[in-house]
C-alpha cells in the first residue's frame, strides 16, 4: 500500500489557500499552480517517464545508461525505447490530462517545480540530464535551505556500527554548522545520516526513487514523517509511482547534483553508493570518502575511492573545508578527552581485549587465542559493550566504537 | 452370570481404571462389546474367541455382552483383550471368581492364546499403584518395563493357558527391579573430537548445566551439528523420577527398545520436513510427538529456518509450560514435554553472511526475511544465542588438547547439584525453569553486578524477558564457578549470549 503523506494535515491546506501568482515564463501554466510551479510540458514529461517505466527497465538491461536516457527529449525518448509500443505510448501521452496531474499532486500534498521555474535549484542548471520536473513535499522555508551549502552523504545499506555511527555524527556536526544533508532514505548509512541531521535540528533532504508521497522502504515511515516535518522529500517521479531498479541510479544522479560535495561513508567493493560518487565526479563536484580498516570488506569501496583520489574525510571539518574553502575545525576535542579518560580506567585485561578487537580479532573464538579462556573473553566483551567501547555488527562480529559518540580526529595512537 | 475385571485405559501417559463387565445370558449366540470401543477393541472379539478356544478353554455359545465402564471414556487399543478373556472365563464358570479380586489385567491376545506386548504397560502399572491395586498381570514381553516399579506384585503371563495356574498361586510374582545399578555410561561421541570452538563449547557447558535453550548460528560446515551431537555426553544423568517419566512416554509411543529403564537422556533430532503432529503430538489415535519423546532430554532442530512456521509456532507453549495439550472432540490429552532445545541455523539463505572467507550473496530484503523466520516469541525463549564460525587452522593449532566430555560432565554435575539444593522447595529442577519470582529470591548479585544490570537495562534495552534470560544464564555461570553470589563477570558473560541489537534491523 503506498504510504501517503498527511494530506489531511491543516498545515498543507493553509498553503494552498495562498494567493497564486501568474508568472510570465515560457510554457503555459495552469491555474492551479502553487507558489512553486511547474509548466505543462514538464509535467507531461514526468508522466511520460512513468508510462515508459517498463520500457526503461528493458532498455537499461541492454546497457544504456541512465544519464544518456534522461538527456533525451520526449520524442527522442519514445523513439529510442518504446519500440513496438510506440503508438500506444504516444496515444496515452496525448490523453494525459494536465489538470488531473496537477490535482493529483496537490491531493498528495506535493508541490511541483520545473526546470523553467525561477525556484529550480541552481545546481541543476545546465546539466544535460537534469530532471524536468521535481515533486516536493515540505515547506517553502525548507526549500530555501537549498540555496545554502549542502552535502550528499551516501553509503552501504548493510553498514557496520562504525559506518552508522560515523554517518550519524558527521551529518549531525555538518547540520549544526548549517549544511543541508542530502541522502536517499535507504537502510544503513542514508538513514543514519538523515537521523543525524534531525538530531541537530538541521535541514535534511531525502531524494527518493519513487513518488515523493510514498515512504520506501516501508519500515522507514517514521523517518519519512520526521523528514517531511523539518526537511524536504524530493522525487522526479509522479505521486504514487512505485520504485523500480532503475529509479535508484536515476535518483542517485539527482543526489550527486544537489550536493556541493558527495561523501561516501562506508561502501563495499560493489556498493551502489560508489555510482553516486561517480556521478559527482563527472559533475566536477568533490568526492569524499571515510576510510575504514583495510581488512574490512565493507570498507573496500571507500578505501578504493581514496586511492583513486577522493578526499579522505575523518571529521566534519574536512567536509567544511572542501565546500566552504575555510579551515574550520569543528571536531569536538571534549569527546576525545572523555574517551581517553574512560580508556585509562580500564583493567589490563579489558584493555588487552579492546586492543585485540581493534586489531581484527572480532569473534570470541579469535579472542580466546589472546585471553586463553572463552568465558573470560566473553565477560570482557560484555563489559566493554556495556561501556560503549565496542559494538556488535549485523553478523555478530565485534567492532571498536568511538565511545560516547565522539568523532574525534587526529587521535594520538 | 456377571463377572467384573479391572483393566486400564491410557490417557496421555496416565492410566484411567476401566471395569470390564462381562454378562452371559441365554439366547442366540452373540458377542458384543460396548463402552465406546474403537476399531481395535471391537476386533478383540475375534482374537478373544480364537485365543480362548486354542488355549483349551470353552467359548460359551450364548449371548455375551461386554461393557467397558465408564461408558463416556473412549477405549482404544488391543490391551483389553486379556481382561475380556478373563471376564468370559469367570462369567462362564471356568475359573474361580474370587481369585480375580485385586488383580488388574492388561495384554493383547494372539490367536493361539499367547500374549503380546502392549504399549504403555508401565503407565498402566503406575496407574494401578495409584489406585491401590495389589497385583498386575501383563504380557511377558512387557514385563521388563513394569518391573521398574516397586510396591506392587507383577505377574508376567506368556500364554492364556497359564492363567488358572497363576490364580491358584502356583506362579510366582516377578521381582521388581527397583533400583538397577548405575551403568557406566559410554558415549561414542566425545567433546574432545571437536577442535577449537571454545566459544561454542563454553555455551554448551552452560546449556547443559542450567538446562538452557541454545541457538547456534553459522555458515554451513562450521561444526554446529557436530557440536550438538556431543551434548548428551556432558548432560547429567537422570533422577529416578525423570527416568520413569521418560520410560512412560516411550512406552506409550511404542518406542521402547534397548535397556530399561531408559537411563540416557533422550536426544531427538527430527528432520525439518516433520509435520506439526509429528513434532508436537497428535494423529488418530493420539500419539506423543518428538517433543514428548524428548522430555527430560534434548530436542535438536537442525536447519531451524527450514522448519515450517506452523511447527515452530507450536513449540511456544511447550517451551513455556513444559507440557503440551492436544485437543480432540473426545477430550483433551496432556503429554509432558520439558526439554532443552538446541537449534542450529544459517545466518542467511546463502549461509555465508558474516563468514570471513566467503561473501554473502543475499540481497538486503532476502536477508531480513530469512532472519524474520525465527519469530520474536521463539527467540524470546532461547536463553543462549551464539555465532559459530568455521575455525581456521591457526585457531585449531594454537589451543592445547581439548577437554574430554568426562571432565566437563563433572563440572556440569556439580553445578546441577547446587541448583537442586537451591531449588528443592520450588519443584523446579534447573535454572532455566526459573521465573521472575525465583530470580528475585535466589539470585544474589554483587554490587558490581547490580550496576552492570542497571547499565545494561538502560543502554541495551533488555526488557523484562531479556532481564530474566540474562539472570538465569548468569546464575548458571556462577554455579559453574562455584560461587553463591552472581558477580559482574557472570553478568557480562550472560550479556554476550543475547541477540545483538543490530541484528534486528540495520539503522
B172 Cβ contact partners less than 8 Å away, ≥ 6 residues apart: none
Q: Is A346's Cβ below 8 Å from some Cβ in B?
A: no
CB A263 within 8 A of CB A154: yes
What's the confidence (pLDDT) of residue A63? 66
What's the confidence (pLDDT) of residue A15? 38
- Look at A395 and B353 and tell me if their CB atoms are within 8 Å: yes
What's the confidence (pLDDT) of residue A14? 36
B506 band by pLDDT with thresholds 50, 70 and 90: very low
- Cell numbers representing residue B148 in the block: 521398574
Q: Is A158's Cβ below 8 Å from some Cβ in B?
A: yes
Residue among A363, A364, A392 whose CB faces B500 most closely: A392
The whole-angstrom distance between B351's CA and the closest CA on chain A is 11
Q: Which residues of A touch B495 (CB under 8 A)?
A: 382, 385-386
The whole-angstrom distance between B375's CA and the closest CA on chain A is 17
Q: Is A405's Cβ below 8 Å from some Cβ in B?
A: no
What's the confidence (pLDDT) of residue B180? 56
Q: Is A271's Cβ below 8 Å from some Cβ in B?
A: no
What's the confidence (pLDDT) of residue B491? 92
Residue among A159, A380, A396 whose CB faces B387 most closely: A396
Report ipTM (2 d.p.).
0.76
Q: Is A349's Cβ below 8 Å from some Cβ in B?
A: no
What's the confidence (pLDDT) of residue A28? 37
Q: Tell me the mean pLDDT in the region B75-93.
A: 91
CB A31 within 8 A of CB A98: no
Pairwise CA distance, residues B171 & A79, whole Å: 103
What's the confidence (pLDDT) of residue A334? 47
Residue A312 backbone phi and psi in degrees, to 5: -70, 135
The full DSSP string for A363-380 is SHHHHHHHHS-HHHHHHH
CA A286 vs. chain centroid, Å, equals: 16
pLDDT in tens, B377-427: 788 889 999 988 887 777 677 667 788 888 999 999 999 999 999 998 888
B31 band by pLDDT with thresholds 50, 70 and 90: very high
The whole-angstrom distance between A160's CA and the closest CA on chain B is 8
Positive or negative, the CA dihedral A44, A50, A56, A58 is negative
- Look at B493 and A378 and tell me if their CB atoms are within 8 Å: yes
Identify the residue with better confidence: B247 or A99: B247
Q: Tell me the mean pLDDT in the region B79-86.
A: 93
**Residue B368 pLDDT > 50:** yes
Q: Tell me the mean pLDDT in the region B489-498.
A: 90
Percent of chain B topping pLDDT 70 = 94
Residue among B364, B389, B492 whose CB faces A363 most closely: B389
- Look at A394 and B353 and tell me if their CB atoms are within 8 Å: yes
Q: Which residues of A touch B503 (CB under 8 A)?
A: 392, 394-396
Identify the residue with better confidence: A326 or B103: B103
B181 band by pLDDT with thresholds 50, 70 and 90: low
pLDDT in tens, A275-309: 999 999 999 999 999 999 888 888 999 999 999 99
Which residues of chain A, if any, have pLDDT below 70? 1-36, 61, 63-64, 326-344, 394, 402-413
- Look at B492 and A382 and tell me if their CB atoms are within 8 Å: yes
**Residue B6 pLDDT > 50:** yes
B235 Cβ contact partners less than 8 Å away, ≥ 6 residues apart: B208, B265, B297, B298, B409, B412
Q: How far apart are the first and last CA of chain A?
A: 52
- Look at A383 and B502 and tell me if their CB atoms are within 8 Å: no
pLDDT in tens, B316-335: 889 988 899 988 877 788 99
CA dihedral B145, B147, B148, B153 (to 10 degrees): 130
Identify the residue with better confidence: B48 or A86: B48
B107 band by pLDDT with thresholds 50, 70 and 90: very high
Report pTM.
Answer: 0.73
Q: Which residues of B touch A219 (CB under 8 A)?
A: 505
Q: Is A383's Cβ below 8 Å from some Cβ in B?
A: yes
What's the confidence (pLDDT) of residue A36? 59
What's the confidence (pLDDT) of residue B477? 94
What's the confidence (pLDDT) of residue B257? 75
- Look at B353 and A369 and tell me if their CB atoms are within 8 Å: no
pLDDT in tens, A83-129: 777 777 778 877 777 778 777 877 777 888 888 888 888 898 878 88
What's the confidence (pLDDT) of residue A7? 44
Identify the residue with better confidence: B2 or A141: B2
Residues on B contacting A at a C-beta cutoff of 8 Å: 196-199, 201-202, 217, 347, 353-354, 359, 364, 367, 386-387, 389, 391, 394-395, 398-399, 452, 455-456, 459-460, 477, 488-497, 500-503, 505-507
What's the confidence (pLDDT) of residue B183? 58
pLDDT in tens, A351-366: 888 888 888 788 888 8
**Buried/exposed code over B456-479 (b: 16+ C-beta within 10 A; e: otherwise):** beeebebeeebebbbbbbbbbbbb
What's the confidence (pLDDT) of residue A329? 54
- Chain A: residue whose CA lies nearest to B455: A386
- Look at B459 and A158 and tell me if their CB atoms are within 8 Å: no
- Chain A: residue whose CA lies nearest to B206: A375
Q: Which residues of A touch B354 (CB under 8 A)?
A: 393-397
Amino acid at each position: 500500500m503506498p504510504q501517503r503523506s498527511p494530506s489531511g494535515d491543516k498545515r498543507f491546506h493553509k498553503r494552498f489557500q495562498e494567493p497564486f501568482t501568474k508568472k510570465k515564463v515560457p510554457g503555459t501554466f495552469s491555474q492551479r499552480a502553487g507558489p512553486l510551479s511547474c509548466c505543462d510540458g514538464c509535467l507531461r514529461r514526468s508522466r511520460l517517464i512513468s508510462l515508459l517505466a517498463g520500457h526503461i527497465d528493458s532498455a537499461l538491461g541492454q546497457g544504456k545508461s541512465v544519464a544518456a536516457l534522461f538527456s533525451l527529449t520526449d520524442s527522442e525518448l519514445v523513439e529510442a525505447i518504446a519500440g513496438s509500443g510506440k503508438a500506444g505510448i504516444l496515444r496515452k501521452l496525448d490523453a494525459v490530462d494536465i489538470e488531473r496531474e496537477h490535482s493529483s499532486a496537490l491531493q498528495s500534498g506535493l508541490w511541483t517545480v520545473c526546470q523553467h521555474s525561477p525556484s529550480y535549484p541552481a545546481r541543476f542548471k545546465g546539466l544535460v540530464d537534469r530532471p524536468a520536473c521535481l515533486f516536493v513535499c515540505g515547506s517553502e522555508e525548507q526549500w530555501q535551505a537549498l540555496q545554502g551549502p549542502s552535502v550528499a552523504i551516501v553509503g552501504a545499506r548493510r553498514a557496520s556500527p562504525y559506518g552508522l555511527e560515523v554517518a550519524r555524527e558527521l551529518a549531525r556536526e555538518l547540520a549544526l554548522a548549517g549544511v543541508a544533508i542530502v541522502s536517499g532514505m535507504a537502510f544503513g548509512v542514508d538513514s543514519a545520516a538523515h537521523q543525524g541531521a534531525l538530531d541537530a535540528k538541521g535541514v535534511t533532504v531525502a531524494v527518493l526513487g519513487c513518488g515523493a508521497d510514498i515512504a520506501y522502504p516501508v519500515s522507514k515511515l517514521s523517518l519519512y514523517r520526521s523528514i517531511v516535518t523539518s526537511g524536504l522529500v524530493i522525487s522526479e517521479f509522479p505521486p504514487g509511482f512505485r520504485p523500480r531498479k532503475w529509479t535508484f541510479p536515476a535518483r542517485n544522479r539527482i543526489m550527486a547534483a544537489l550536493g556541493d560535495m558527495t561523501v561516501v561513508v562506508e561502501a563495499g567493493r560493489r556498493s551502489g553508493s560508489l555510482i553516486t560518487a561517480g556521478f559527482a565526479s563527472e559533475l566536477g563536484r568533490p568526492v569524499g570518502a571515510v576510510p575504514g580498516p583495510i581488512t574490512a570488506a565493507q570498507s573496500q569501496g571507500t578505501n578504493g575511492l581514496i586511492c583513486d583520489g577522493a578526499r579522505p574525510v575523518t571529521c566534519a571539518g574536512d567536509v567544511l573545508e572542501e565546500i566552504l574553502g575555510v579551515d574550520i575545525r569543528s571536531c569536538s576535542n571534549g569527546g576525545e578527552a572523555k574517551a581517553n579518560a574512560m580508556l585509562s580506567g580500564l583493567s589490563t585485561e579489558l584493555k588487552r581485549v579492546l586492543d585485540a578487537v581493534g586489531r581484527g580479532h572480532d569473534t570470541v573464538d579469535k579472542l580466546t587465542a589472546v585471553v586463553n579462556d572463552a568465558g573470560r573473553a566473553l565477560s570482557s566483551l560484555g563489559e566493554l559493550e556495556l561501556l560503549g567501547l565496542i559494538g556488535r555488527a549485523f553478523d555478530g562480529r565485534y567492532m571498536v566504537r568511538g565511545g560516547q559518540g565522539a568523532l574525534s580526529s587526529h587521535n594520538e595512537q | 452370570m456377571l463377572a467384573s475385571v479391572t483393566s486400564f485405559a491410557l490417557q496421555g501417559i496416565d492410566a484411567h481404571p476401566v471395569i470390564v463387565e462381562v454378562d452371559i445370558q441365554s439366547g442366540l449366540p452373540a458377542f458384543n462389546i460396548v463402552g465406546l470401543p474403537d476399531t481395535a477393541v471391537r476386533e478383540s472379539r475375534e482374537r478373544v474367541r480364537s485365543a480362548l478356544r486354542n488355549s483349551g478353554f470353552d467359548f460359551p455359545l450364548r449371548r455375551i455382552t461386554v461393557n467397558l465402564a465408564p461408558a463416556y471414556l473412549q477405549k482404544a487399543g488391543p490391551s483389553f483383550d486379556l481382561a475380556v478373556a478373563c471376564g468370559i472365563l469367570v462369567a462362564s464358570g471356568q475359573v474361580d471368581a474370587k481369585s480375580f479380586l485385586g488383580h488388574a489385567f492388561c495384554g493383547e491376545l494372539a490367536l493361539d492364546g499367547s500374549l503380546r506386548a502392549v504399549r504403555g504397560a508401565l503407565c498402566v502399572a503406575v496407574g494401578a499403584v495409584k489406585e491401590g491395586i495389589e497385583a498386575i498381570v501383563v504380557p511377558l514381553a512387557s514385563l521388563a518395563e513394569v518391573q521398574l516399579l516397586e510396591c506392587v506384585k507383577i505377574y508376567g503371563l506368556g500364554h492364556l493357558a497359564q492363567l488358572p495356574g497363576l490364580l491358584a498361586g502356583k506362579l510366582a510374582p516377578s521381582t521388581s527391579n527397583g533400583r538397577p545399578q548405575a551403568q557406566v555410561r559410554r558415549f561414542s561421541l566425545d567433546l574432545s573430537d571437536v577442535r577449537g570452538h571454545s566459544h561454542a563449547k563454553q555455551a554448551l557447558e552452560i546449556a547443559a548445566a542450567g538446562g538452557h535453550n541454545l541457538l547456534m548460528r553459522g555458515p554451513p560446515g562450521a561444526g554446529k551439528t557436530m557440536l550438538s551431537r556431543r551434548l548428551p555426553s556432558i548432560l547429567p544423568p537422570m533422577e529416578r523420577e525423570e527416568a520413569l517419566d521418560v520410560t512412560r512416554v516411550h512406552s506409550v509411543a511404542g518406542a521402547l527398545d534397548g535397556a530399561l529403564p531408559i537411563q540416557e537422556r533422550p536426544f531427538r533430532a527430527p528432520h525439518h520436513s516433520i509435520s506439526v503432529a509429528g513434532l508436537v503430538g497428535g494423529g488418530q489415535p493420539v500419539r506423543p510427538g518428538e517433543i514428548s519423546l524428548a522430555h527430560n532430554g534434548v530436542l535438536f532442530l537442525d536447519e531451524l529456518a527450514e522448519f515450517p512456521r506452523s511447527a515452530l509456532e507450536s513449540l511456544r507453549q511447550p517451551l513455556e509450560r513444559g507440557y503440551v495439550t492436544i485437543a480432540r472432540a473426545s477430550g483433551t490429552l496432556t503429554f509432558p514435554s520439558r526439554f532443552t532445545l538446541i537449534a542450529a541455523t544459517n545466518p542467511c539463505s546463502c549461509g555465508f553472511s558474516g563468514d570471513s572467507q566467503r561473501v554473502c550473496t543475499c540481497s538486503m530484503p532476502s536477508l531480513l526475511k530469512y532472519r524474520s523466520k525465527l519469530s520474536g516469541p521463539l527467540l524470546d525463549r532461547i536463553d543462549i544465542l551464539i555465532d559459530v564460525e568455521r575455525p581456521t587452522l591457526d585457531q585449531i593449532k594454537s589451543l592445547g588438547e581439548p577437554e574430554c566430555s568426562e571432565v566437563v560432565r563433572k563440572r556440569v554435575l556439580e553445578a546441577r547439584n547446587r541448583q537442586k539444593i537451591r531449588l528443592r522447595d520450588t519443584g523446579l529442577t534447573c535454572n532455566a525453569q526459573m521465573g521472575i519470582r525465583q530470580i528475585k529470591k535466589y539470585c544474589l548479585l554483587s554490587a558490581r553486578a547490580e550496576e552492570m544490570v542497571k547499565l545494561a537495562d538502560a543502554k541495551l534495552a533488555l526488557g523484562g524477558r531479556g532481564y530474566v534470560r540474562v539472570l538465569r544464564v548468569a546464575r548458571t555461570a556462577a554455579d559453574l564457578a562455584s560461587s553463591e553470589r552472581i558477580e559482574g563477570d557472570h553478568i557480562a558473560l550472560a550479556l554476550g549470549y543475547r541477540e545483538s541489537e543490530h541484528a534486528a534491523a540495520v539503522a
